[in-house]
Structure 1
């Protein structure tokens, strides 16, 4: 086991506890990077201005830097610091926080969900992006295409991607860009109108970050939905619980994004440890969520947890701006899956190959 393999392990949480016991910020000799595993260390990394989302020497991954996917990547607010991060965020975040949950529920209800493995996969991966596409003003048919193209684009963000996936990502990015150019020219949904009104950057940056909104929705929300189903499979007594409360504990207890990285831009001290320029820090969100210093009884799944805290959506200047929307989509989708009669007792799963995501892929035992 190591901190990266842990993300897709059947139960990584005892290992995370072991890491915390060894120290909040420790250098891992095998991976040649620092590992922040405690709540204090994770908070300190997120708060420090010299811990940045990309290395100074490689603002865009070298595998995509020569293509259109690389151009979009370089404009994403979550992959930038300073004004290139603040400007898109200030335009997009306010509108996302005001989405009508009834509208989200109606959009989820309108989708065809079947209680089989393929139906669950579509509900987890395609459905959330279709909801975001509809909120931005795309038609249902366009939303389905946006969802498929987003899946192709997201593939380029993983170091595990093949050359064929990287090539497909550039083509998908070109098509996504075309869809958004047309959308911006003729459509003003309430969400898109609010974004356009606040946005002060150029059109290419706006389009890149609208693509980024879809790409962030794709995997993180899929993980929320899937891990909620896992929780219900393991704790069937929770079936009658408030979905909002259930999802709030799921995102803390078993987050879909287990870790992220920060790159040290200048020598500094983090949680009492000196790190040097060029160092890499693996930030274990899932481990920090289970730190007793953050929440009492952290290894218990408690619906009525007082003052629930977690790092699942990040913290500080790069905290996920779409947290409220992601939670609303996940809640609505799980409700709809349950209403369609999925047999939780027959669910089996393994985790999608990933270096940081914890996303269950389901099959139905007996099918």
Structure 2
């Protein structure tokens, strides 16, 4: 196992503990990167001004540079620093606080159209994006289309994608751009959130606005699918907990909150050193890369007592699953609301968990289980 393959290992957490025992920030010869594994190191790297989300010499991955998906990638706030990161965030984040949680739950339930593993797949990978699209004022039919297109687009974000997936991602990018431009040009009152976002982007290049709206859907697709899947997996592995949750559905929210710490959908992220700096006594040089093990930091006893126990009533829960510092995800509350509502609906309508098989989707940083009906 190494810090990259650990993301989809059945149980990477003892390995993460061994990395923390070696020191919070160490160099790994196998992956030729620094590894931040402790809570202290992860926090220090994520908050350091000289640790950027992209290497300066490659702001857009070579595999998509110069193509439609690459053009969108280059505008995403999560892939930029400075004003190109702060401006989109300041436009998008405020409206998240005003979203009606009851409406979100209603849309989740309405979108669950199939029973069995097919319905479960829909709940993980289609429903959450459709909910965000609905919040932006799209019709139900367009929301489902946006979900399918987002699924194709996010393939370009993985270094594991093949030529066919990249081609589909570029095609989906063009369709997403058209749909968002039409939605913006409608200039109606279907979405107060979208109206506020457009006002926040006033005076900014239109491509920045459209790209970051696509980015909202992309982040929802990956992270929320993992939140839902890993919570269901926790219940499959613990029948007593499943029974308790079925008896007390109000515990679904606390369960989802604990699972995002205990077994997060994004296991690691990366930072790139842009200037000589010192972090926790380690001297880092420009051009060096750091693999930031969010999942390991979540299990650091210095951050959470009894970190290897899944406790729905955990006090003062702390987590890096949604990042920290200037790139902390502003949509955490919405993602958790969608995930909890989805899990509640799955437990009502999906097959009994012991009738499901599962596997982790191939990824270098995501921990996203995919389920199928057992023969």
TM-score of the two chains, using structure 1 as the length reference: 0.98
- Aligned twin of 2:210: 207
Distance 1:301 1:344 in 2: 19
Partner of residue 193 from structure 1, selected from 192, 195, 206: 195
Partner of residue 324 from structure 1, selected from 333, 339, 347: 333
Does the 8 Å contact 2:265/2:368 carry over to 1? yes
Does the 8 Å contact 1:113/1:337 carry over to 2? no
- Aligned twin of 1:309: 318
How many residues are aligned here? 366
Q: CA deviation at 1:2?
A: 0.4
5+ residue gaps, structure 2, are none
Distance 2:42 2:115 in 1: 39
Distance 1:207 1:242 in 2: 38
Partner of residue 271 from structure 2, selected from 253, 256, 262: 262
Q: CA deviation at 1:202?
A: 2.1
Distance 2:96 2:205 in 1: 20
Does the 8 Å contact 2:117/2:350 carry over to 1? no
Q: CA deviation at 1:310?
A: 0.5
Does the 8 Å contact 1:97/1:322 carry over to 2? no
Distance 1:361 1:226 in 2: 7
Deviation sequence 1:25-53 (CA, Å, 0-9, x none): 01000110000000000000011000000
5+ residue gaps, structure 1, are none
Distance 2:28 2:163 in 1: 29
Does the 8 Å contact 2:112/2:127 carry over to 1? no
Query: Does residue 81 of the first structure (1) align with residue 81 of the second (2)?
Result: yes
- Aligned twin of 1:290: 299
After superposition, residues 167-186 of structure 1 pair within 5 angstroms as: 167-186=167-186
Query: Does residue 25 of the first structure (1) align with residue 34 of the second (2)?
Result: no
Does the 8 Å contact 2:228/2:342 carry over to 1? yes
Q: CA deviation at 1:341?
A: 4.4
Distance 1:217 1:313 in 2: 12
Secondary structure at the aligned position of 1:294 is classed as coil
Q: 1:341 to 1:354 in 2, by over 3 A?
A: closer
Does the 8 Å contact 1:113/1:120 carry over to 2? no
Does the 8 Å contact 1:115/1:343 carry over to 2? no
Secondary structure at the aligned position of 1:207 is classed as helix
Distance 2:210 2:61 in 1: 20
Does the 8 Å contact 1:27/1:35 carry over to 2? yes
Query: Does residue 235 of the first structure (1) align with residue 238 of the second (2)?
Result: yes
- Aligned twin of 2:97: 97
Query: Does residue 246 of the first structure (1) align with residue 255 of the second (2)?
Result: yes
- Aligned twin of 2:16: 16
Q: 1:60 to 1:335 in 2, by over 3 A?
A: same
Does the 8 Å contact 1:255/1:286 carry over to 2? yes
Query: Does residue 349 of the first structure (1) align with residue 358 of the second (2)?
Result: yes
Distance 2:60 2:351 in 1: 42
Secondary structure at the aligned position of 2:371 is classed as strand
TM-score of the two chains, using structure 2 as the length reference: 0.96
Does the 8 Å contact 1:113/1:340 carry over to 2? no
Q: CA deviation at 1:112?
A: 3.0
- Aligned twin of 1:129: 129
Distance 1:318 1:131 in 2: 23
Distance 2:24 2:297 in 1: 9
Secondary structure at the aligned position of 2:126 is classed as helix
